[in-house]
Amino acid sequence: MPNAIDIHQVTKTFGEGTAMVTALEKVSLAIRDGEFVVFLGPSGCGKSTLLRMIAGLSAVTEGSISIDGRPVEGRPSVGMVFQSYTSFPWLSVAENIGFGLDLAKAGKARRDEKVAAMLDRVSLGKFAGSYPSQLSGGMQQRVAIARALAVDPRILLMDEPFGALDALTRVEMQTLLLDLCAEDRKTVVFVTHDIDEAMLLADRIVVFSPHPGRIAEIVDVDIPHPRSIEQTEREDFTRLRHRLRQLLFAMAKRAA
Ligand code: ADP
Ligand code: MG
């Protein structure tokens, strides 16, 4: 089986001449099918840029990215969830979740069935007819996740999806995401600058360094599933947290 995502010697620059910014330089990474990979690093090291290129929303300057062995072109079959504004405010919760299915021209019966199933999975059944502005931040992100998963993408790309949530809601959402991934194994690329979030979720943590964006280190998280937030007080988590903190401090110094 080919890798789910192959990133080969990817460089991305913005602008020209003296105003040119090298967001990423010669980044290579292979992500296996079913793997949960977290991109961790201070801001400005190219994490979002790389995610957008994997999603086909932005072109590489040099190098190549392929999904399931085929070059990324147009819009590959990926689901995306961003930090905020990921729901359409003029559509109800159910319409938001069904949006991708409508685009994919799923029939009404299949669409309604899938929307009902997704509403159930993210515990929003009672809010099918509500509008995003009537929901809390955590509920809005559950809508966004349900919408991304409704079309059954093999790959889920998440850019700081829980970054705007309060600490408690954030843990609830992390737990929900772990549950969803356990039910239905997806390849996930998840961007965060939160160490505990990275440790809880990841099979592998890719630590980025800035100016230009590069991969500084890849850390395997050999902590068995199912994981829960209580386990993050354990010794193996504590050791890993310490190591990641040192790495991030070093990166942040470089960014300053
Ligand atoms: P991160 O997500 O790790 O915070 P980004 O991928 O957003 O980093 O940005 C990486 C670098 O690329 C930054 O220096 C940023 O200013 C620059 N950059 C990102 N997007 C653009 C853009 N559309 N135009 C110009 N520069 C950009
Ligand atoms: Mg970003």
Q: What is the mean pLDDT of residues 6-20?
A: 95
The pTM (predicted TM-score) of the whole model is: 0.94
The 10 Å Cβ neighbour count of residue 67 is: 23
Q: Does ligand 1 lie within 6 Å of residue 45's CB atom? A: yes
Chain centre to alpha carbon of residue 20: 27
Q: Is the CB of 48 under 6 A from ligand 1?
A: yes
| Residue pLDDT, tens place only, 42-92 | 889 999 999 999 999 999 999 999 998 888 876 667 888 988 767 899 999
Centre of ligand 2 from the C-alpha of residue 47, in Å: 6
Q: Probe ligand 1: pick from 20, 21, 39, 60, max atoms within 8 Å of CB?
A: 21
Q: Are 51 and 39 in contact (CB under 8 A)?
A: yes
Q: What is the tens place of the pLDDT at every residue in 178-192?
A: 999 888 889 999 999
Residue 189 has what pLDDT?
A: 98
Q: Whose CA is nearest to atom 6 of ligand 1?
A: 46
Task: Give me the pLDDT at residue 75, please.
Answer: 64
CA–centroid distance, residue 43 to ligand 2 (Å): 6
223 — pLDDT class (breaks 50, 70, 90):
confident
- Of 10 and 82, the structure prediction assigns the larger pLDDT to 10
CB of 207 within 6 A of ligand 1: the answer is no
Sign of dihedral through CA atoms 143, 148, 154, 160? negative
The tokens of 177 are what? 């995401």
Which of ligand 1's atoms lies nearest the C-alpha of 52?
6
Task: Indicate if ligand 1 lies below 6 Å from the C-beta of 59.
Answer: no
Distance CA 12, CA 6 (A): 16
CA of 167 to the centre of ligand 2 (A): 20
* pLDDT for position 85: 62
Residues contacting 51, CB < 8 A, separation 6+: 39, 80, 157, 159, 189, 191
Task: Give 147 Cα–ligand 1 centroid separation in angstroms.
Answer: 26
Ligand 1 probe mutation, 14, 27, 38, 194, most atoms within 8 A of CB: 14
> Between these two residues, 195 and 223, which has the higher pLDDT value?
195
Ligand 2 mean position, distance from CA 116 (Å): 32
Please give the residue that has the higher pLDDT: either 71 or 40. 40
Q: Are strands 36-40 and 204-209 parallel, antiparallel or unpaired?
A: parallel
Q: How many residues are listed for the chain in this entry? A: 256
Q: Whose CA is nearest to atom 14 of ligand 1?
A: 44
Q: What's the gap in Å between 180 CA and the centre of ligand 1?
A: 30
Q: How many CB atoms lie within 10 A of CB 126?
A: 9
Read off the pLDDT of each residue in 226-232 and give the average, rounded to a whole number: 83
pLDDT at position 205 is 98
Give the chain's domains with CATH numbers: 5-78+155-255 (3.40.50.300), 88-152 (no CATH)
Q: What is the pLDDT of residue 76?
A: 65
pLDDT tens digits, 129-146: 999 999 999 999 999 999
